Homo-oligomer: A and B are copies of this chain.
Amino acid sequence: MAESLNIALAGLGTVGSGVVRLIETNAALIARRARRPIRIAAVSARDRGKDRGIDLAGYEWVDDPSELASRPDIDVVVEMVGGSDGPALALARNAIAGGKSFVTANKAMIAHHGLELAAAAEKAGVALKFEAAVAGGIPVIKGLSEGAAANAIERVYGILNGTCNYILSTMEDTGRDFADVLAEAQRLGYAEADPTFDVEGIDAAHKLSILAGIAFGARLRFDAVETTGISGVLAADIAQARALGYVIRLIGTAEIDRGGAAAGLFQRVRPHLVHCDHPLASVDGATNAVVAEGNFMGRLLFQGAGAGDGPTASAVVADIIDIARGEKGAAFSMPSHELEALEPAETGHRIGRAYIRFIVPDRPGVLAEITAAMRDAGVSIESFIQKGRGEAGGEVIVALVTHDGPEAAVRRALAILEGSDSLASPPLVMQILEG
């Protein structure tokens, strides 16, 4: 058998420990598939004494991870430290400059610095791989950059954050409120102590910007992802969506928008109403799913475990096996200098139906004011739901669904209503994804 591929692991948290367990458990099978053994040549983490449930005695421990970047006996550095900058980025730069292939699960770092690292990897003739950065165990980076490579991808969208999907589907199953379900998710370890990155959609936006770059051959623009999280979704919204035949999911969606003056990159993370017949409607719990629509393949769906040590380790080691097989690929499916620089798309001309929900004082004239604003802005209302009295303060929930129309009209209507004392809090707008 060929000589081993020697890897170094930086970071031994949940994912790093999972990678060790996987490589130990499936060693013989991996060697058959990779055509050479994969050997853990060194490991590094902050706390050597921590109990990780794995035996590290057989591996060389390195206190300073930056040392891994220059060791001649190491072929691949695997970064599972996390953070978009700091030690992870320093390690990435140094390892690539040192001629090591680099594998990471770090979506934030790739979303912010992926282009720089890809160019450096091309210059150094090494691989930069990050399958685990998007949708956990689902090989969607490979699916887009290789499986769908013959297609002009028209749209890519999906459920990219397991924590949000767990919270939304639990709210749906139990009728409970966001804050209540989030607190439970934190107790169960499904949500971080500081849940901002997840529930405000930032994590999904990181992933979406990576997918968009690959799908469209475009330079990554994480800064231009229009992002709204799920913290504003009420149990009442979920109940009303259900009555209309929809569920609510946090959807990241990206496409090349050719409806404006120039082609632009449209990227949005926002809660959507998803029709029950759409395959994403049945994606529950921490599951992730990505849909890609191509001009020849049609609609393709990938679905699986979006997080967790096992699935994430599966993706990390798939990257390592690719490298062992000599299949180094281009980080974003084409050389980084081929990626097109696209400006963020205008969105006002986008046509669709929307769900708009208001919290209003329970007094005469409020509905008239809302409907007048819609009329004056040119928004055509398909259905109108007034829910009964809220529990306190004499406020009621009013939701409406628009007919197909431009987003600009909805924005005009909301601008008319802005500051009105008929609104107790800012309205929530969710696009509707049909089956």
A residues whose Cβ falls under 8 Å from a Cβ of B = 18, 22, 25-26, 29-30, 32-35, 131, 137-139, 142-143, 145-152, 217, 277, 279, 282, 294-305, 308, 310-311, 313-318, 320-322, 325, 327, 329-330, 333-335, 338
Report how far A320 CA is from B146 CA in the complex, Å.
10
Partner of A148, one of B139, B151, B282, B301: B139
A333-B33 in contact given A25-B295, A137-B297, A327-B327 (Cβ < 8 Å) = yes
Of B282, B298, B304, the residue contacting A137 (CB under 8 A) is: B298
| Given A296-B317, A327-B327, 18 additional A-B pairs, CB 8 A | A18-B296, A22-B296, A30-B149, A33-B333, A35-B334, A139-B143, A139-B148, A146-B321, A150-B316, A150-B317, A279-B279, A294-B314, A296-B311, A298-B308, A300-B302, A300-B304, A302-B302, A327-B329
CB distance from A372 to the nearest CB of B (A): 42
Tell me, in angstroms, the Cα distance from A151 to B305 when the chains sit together. 14
A147 contacts which of B26, B142, B277, B298 (Cβ < 8 Å)? B142
Q: Decide: A149 and B321 in contact? CB cutoff 8 A.
A: yes
Q: A74 to nearest B CB, angstroms?
A: 20
Contacts of A131 in B (CB 8 A): 147
- Once A26-B151, A149-B321, A152-B26 are accepted as A-B contacts, the answer to whether A304 and B297 lie under 8 Å apart by CB is yes
Chain B residues near A295 (CB-CB < 8 A):
25-26, 310
Residues of B close to A302: CB separation below 8 A: 143, 300-302
Contact of A33 among B149, B298, B303 (CB under 8 A): B149
Q: Which of B33, B308, B330 contacts A217 (CB 8 A)?
A: B33
- Of the candidates B34, B145, B301, B330, which one forms a contact with A304 in the assembled complex, judged by CB atoms under 8 Å apart? B301
Contacts of A146 in B (CB 8 A): 139, 142, 146, 318, 321-322, 327
Q: Could you write out 10 A-B pairs with CB less than 8 Å apart? A: A30-B149, A30-B150, A32-B217, A34-B149, A139-B148, A142-B142, A296-B311, A296-B317, A297-B305, A298-B311
Q: How far is the CB of A353 from chain B (nearest CB, A)?
A: 22
B314 touches A297 (CB 8 A): yes
A143-B147, A311-B296 known; A152 vs B301 contact (CB < 8 Å): no
Tell me the complex Cα distance, A137–B33, Å: 24
* B148 & A318 in contact (Cβ 8 Å cutoff): yes
- B150/A32 in contact, CB under 8 A: no
Question: Closest CB-CB distance, A222 to chain B, in whole Å?
Answer: 22
> What B residues does A277 contact at CB under 8 A?
282
How many angstroms between the C-alpha atoms of A137 and B308 in the bound complex?
A: 29
Q: A35 vs B217: C-alpha distance in the bound complex, in angstroms?
A: 13
Known interface pairs A147-B139, A152-B29; A298-B303 also in contact (CB < 8 Å): no
What separation, in Å, do the CA atoms of A270 and B266 have in the docked complex?
44
Task: Say how far A317's CB is from chain B's closest CB, in angstroms.
Answer: 4
Cβ distance A246 to chain B, nearest Cβ, rounded Å? 16
Cα distance A334–B34 when bound, in Å?
Answer: 7
A299 in complex: contacting residue of B25, B294, B304, B333, CB < 8 Å: B304
Do B26 and A150 touch (CB < 8 A)?
yes
Given the known inter-chain contacts A139-B143, A295-B25, please indicate yes or no for A303 contacting B279, CB distance below 8 A: yes
**B139 A318 Cβ-Cβ under 8 A:** no
Which residues of B sit under 8 angstroms from A33, Cβ to Cβ? 145, 149, 217, 333-334
- Is there an interface contact between B282 and A311, defined as CB atoms closer than 8 Å? no
Assembly CA distance A321 to B295 (angstroms): 16
A104 → B minimal CB distance (Å): 16
Closest to A22 in B: B296
User: Are A310 and B296 interface neighbours, CB within 8 A?
Assistant: yes
